[in-house]
Amino acid sequence: MRILLAALGVVLLSYQAGLIEHAFDRLWRPENQTSLGFRLGAPWPTLVAVVEGTGLASGDRLMAVAGEPFEGTAQLDRAMATRFPGDQMTVTVSRGGESREVRWRLGRSEAGEVLWTRWLFVGVAAVAMPLLCLVIGVWTAWMRPRDGVAWLLLGMMASFAHALDLGEYASSSMGMRVLHSFLALAWPVGMASFAWFFPVTLPLERRMPWLKYLVFGPVLGVAAAVGTMPYLEHAGSMGRAGILDGLYVLLGLRLPVQMAIVSLFFFLLGWKAGVVKDPDQRRRIRTTLHGSGLALSPLLIALLARIFVGVESELGLAIAIVMMAGFPLTLGYVVLVQRAFGVGVVIRQGCNMR
């Protein structure tokens, strides 16, 4: 079992090392990082988030890149791979039913002027937190190889390492992009699954064992479908425009669905804290609740400030992510100390016998 775990740990850490490399790729040589000037969205392939000064407009429909009919983002990747800030870019768009060719000079991306706060944010979000999650997950499963909850924690930590989607992996392989896209969507299911089984299963699990599949199955299915978007957009996308439009609708529901499932994590643990009779199990549940709430609250505050107030600070986010370290540490602790709590039960029983 531990040989399998060691191999899995090497695969996970190697995969994460590849993501780390690509996350920092845009920071090593900021003077060469080029901004395309627009982003594609629905209805596919419509231009959204257009940069001023390009001559493009939100709502334009991309028809051709450098004179070649547009088929997928692979064309944009190839065009940008040989261009630097100041080079000319040419696309053909459809606007108001008319086709027009637009030329502009490419500018620097946001990474072109890198502040120390950006290095700090990427270092914490792309390196420290993911590696901490993987190390805790692998170490917990290594220490308790026959404990199903420890393996469930490993799976949750492997997905939670992708909770912070930096959107900096465009230069990585397609397989890495698809897997990262899926995990960045599905990590709340790992949290809720852990709460479902830790430290004991829900009382209704015995009566309705199918309920967990009904709750988590559709979410995982949608995450898997949306996770394929990098592949669907890459080549031959014009024949899949209808599928992509539907997936963009589902992607728009990402944040509320994820927040609902994270809330389910706390709801399930709170429910168990009220119904579980064993005092040691109840103490472990409360430790998980308090540690998780304290660790995740700063990130929730930063997220709400960004959504409702428009305040966004990479330094503030980095601090919130550092606070998040308490989440995997808390979960690893409550799983590993199960035996210690068992000793406490034995001591109390011995005192009662006296």
| Whether 85 and 220 share a structural domain | no
Q: How many domains does the chain have?
A: 2
Q: What are phi and psi of 306, to 5 degrees?
A: -70, -40
3-state secondary structure of 91: strand
97 falls within a domain: yes
Asked if residue 44 has pLDDT above 90, the reply is: yes
Asked if residue 312 has pLDDT above 80, the reply is: no
Range of the domain at 76: 34-108
Asked whether the beta carbons of 283 and 76 are under 8 A apart, the reply is no
169 falls within a domain: yes
Q: pTM of the full predicted structure?
A: 0.84
Q: Which helix (H) or strand (E) holds 192?
A: helix 174-197
Q: pLDDT grade, residue 171 (50/70/90)? A: low
CB count in 10 Å sphere of residue 51? 14
- The single residue listed with the structure tokens 């090392």 is 17
Comparison of pLDDT for 252 and 23, the residue scoring more: 252
| Whether 84 and 184 share a structural domain | no
| Whether 139 and 78 share a structural domain | no
192 falls within a domain: yes
3-state secondary structure of 2: helix
29 falls within a domain: no
60 falls within a domain: yes
Q: pLDDT grade, residue 296 (50/70/90)? A: very high
| Whether 253 and 311 share a structural domain | yes
11 falls within a domain: no
Q: Give residue 111's Cα distance to chain centre.
A: 21
CA atoms of 212 and 196, how far apart (whole Å): 8
Boundary residue ending a domain (62, 90, 108): 108
Residue 162 one-letter amino acid: H
| Whether 101 and 119 share a structural domain | no
Diameter of the chain measured on Cα atoms: 91
250 falls within a domain: yes
Cα dihedral 74/76/78/83 (nearest 10): -170
184 falls within a domain: yes
List, in order, residues 6 or more apart from 9 with CB less than 8 Å away. Answer: 134, 138
| Whether 122 and 97 share a structural domain | no
Rounded to an integer, the average pLDDT of 326-342 is 79
| Whether 100 and 120 share a structural domain | no
Q: What is the DSSP string of 14-63?
A: HHHHHHHHHHHHHHHSGGG-EE-S-EEETTTTEEESPPTTSS--TT-EEE
| Whether 83 and 189 share a structural domain | no
CATH of the domain at 70: 2.30.42.10
